[in-house]
Amino acid sequence: MNDDMETEPMVSFGPSSNYVGSNNQQRRRRPAGSKPEKPRRQNSFSRDIGHAAAETYLITRLTFTLLRYLGLGYRWISRLVALGCYAMLLLPGFLQVAYYYFFSSQVRRSVVYGDQPRNRLDLHFPTNNDGPKPVVVFVTGGAWIIGYKAWGSLLGRQLAERDIIVACLDYRNFPQGTISDMVKDVSQGISFVFNNIADYGGDPNRIYLMGQSAGAHISSCALLEQAVKESTGESISWSTSHIKYYFGLSGGYNLLNLVDHCHNRGLYRSIFLSIMEGEESLPVFSPAVRIKDPSIRDASSLLPPIILFHGTSDYSIPSDASMAFADALQKVGAKPELVLYPGKSHTDLFLQVSHDWMALECLIQLID
């Protein structure tokens, strides 16, 4: 990876507006006069080791289950070898982040938000407790197959050091679940944050939603689905109007355009369609397509300001995906902004936003 720390993003169009969410959302609050719960260390070193072993076992078991679906073709073997070599190069950094994740007192791991096995989230806390903090809800990527809450540790650590609470959501992956399960899990996780984050020192009136890669797709589906429910008067447990901003990093928002692209990249068409519940479901789970439906036009006005980030050298999901989604949003009266990073790949962009001081400062100015 050759990240240029001086790279300036290109803003394509549409400055996002200042947005203040409503205060009418019903949520659980802590008793008056009580102090926010402080982040706690695990009771013992042995408990930390046991937790790490259990998480490793889960990932290993799901990996072997996935391989049974994919088969062991040459393309997958070559990509796994390439990924292993890339991981070895990043190992020193991984070890540092892993130590922080498992042993830092500023991380509260595996907070339960639902009744499914993967309905867990990690909370990354600032070091001080001087008042309610802004909150970023982060949905990790992973090709809808290997997403995991720990992948957000680097971003969580960097934002926590800048006085922001980060909630990294886990959700069911394929083959444990399909796209509707993933969207349901993410929506339930967002609801938990809205209704409980005050107990952890967060400000329920300053909540931001962020997704990366497949996580950007899933979280945008959850956001649009919630806006549709809200516009039709359905009972809801959280409101899109209370999201201050939505940040989408390297996301794919039109599945119809991704089927063949992903097939050529190694995520075979049969597997892709199994994840997305069949070809007939592709438009339903394509926010860039669904937002054009006249029957849900009222939902677009309920969406928060949206900022889409993409690298122009992204071959996993081309930057055209974010460009087309931003264009579709603008046409229905939403508030999109598109930020392109010249020469940045799929991985480069996430690492830059997670680690680059300038990129983080841009986000923090919006969050503050």
Q: How many contiguous H segments (helices) and E segments (strands) does the chain have?
A: 13, 9
- Which DSSP helix (H) or strand (E) runs through 49? helix 45-70
CB neighbour class for 154 (10 Å; exposed up to 12, middle 13-18, buried from 19): buried
In Å, how far are 59, 70, 99, 113, 145 from 148, measured between CA atoms?
A: 9, 19, 17, 15, 9
Tokens encoding 262? 């992903």
Find the angle CA(189)-CA(317)-CA(253) to the nearest 5 degrees. Answer: 50
The catalytic site residues sit at: 213, 314, 346
Give the span between the Cα atoms of 143 and 213, in whole angstroms. Answer: 7
CB neighbour class for 273 (10 Å; exposed up to 12, middle 13-18, buried from 19): middle
